[in-house]
């Protein structure tokens, strides 16, 4: 191999490694170790956010509807944070149940809008 080919190969390797590192950083795990109820609520909120974004992207949800859905999701996240603050970062079973009910209502609203 000549010198120019070695430089190109090195640059391509560097670009590939950088792309892989940035992709793995973007897909970083957001779970909280030792907090399964918190992780469950957070995962459901993330899933609903993705469904809202997908609905806006394909035109089945209007921006106004998306804003309402986002507001409801933010309210659930705020309630979760307040409940966690009361119990040193944990959620009780009752708090989890209430948050899941709110997420169920929000999920049904998203579903009705998209179909």
Q: In angstroms, what CA-CA distances link 110 with 31, 53, 72?
A: 24, 11, 11
Task: Give residue-wise pLDDT tens across range 54-99.
Answer: 999 999 999 999 999 999 999 999 999 999 999 888 899 999 999 9
- Which residues have C-beta within 8 Å of that of residue 30, sequence separation ≥ 6? 42, 46
Please list the alpha-helical segments (H only) found in 59-92.
63-86
Report whether 56 contacts 110 (CB < 8 A).
no
Enter the tokens of residue 71.
């507001």
Tell me the domain boundaries of the chain.
36-114
Amino acid 111: pLDDT: 92
Amino acid 26: pLDDT: 43
Among all chains, which residue has been given the structure tokens 């806006």? 56
Whether the pLDDT of residue 106 is over 80: the answer is yes
Whole-angstrom Cα distance, residue 49 to residue 103? 11
Whole-angstrom Cα distance, residue 38 to residue 108? 21
Cα(first)–Cα(last) distance of the chain, in Å? 59
């Amino acid at each position: 191999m000549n010198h120019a080919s070695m430089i190109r190969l090195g640059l391509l390797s560097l670009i590939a490694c950088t792309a892989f590192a940035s992709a793995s950083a973007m897909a970083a795990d957001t779970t909280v170790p030792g907090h399964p109820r918190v992780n469950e609520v957070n995962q459901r909120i993330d899933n609903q956010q993705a469904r809202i974004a997908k609905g806006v992207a394909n035109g089945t949800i209007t921006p106004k509807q998306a804003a309402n859905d986002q507001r409801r999701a933010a309210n659930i996240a705020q309630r979760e944070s307040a409940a966690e603050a009361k119990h040193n970062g944990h959620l009780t079973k009752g708090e989890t149940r209430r948050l899941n009910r709110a997420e169920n209502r929000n999920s049904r609203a998203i579903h009705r809008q998209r179909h």
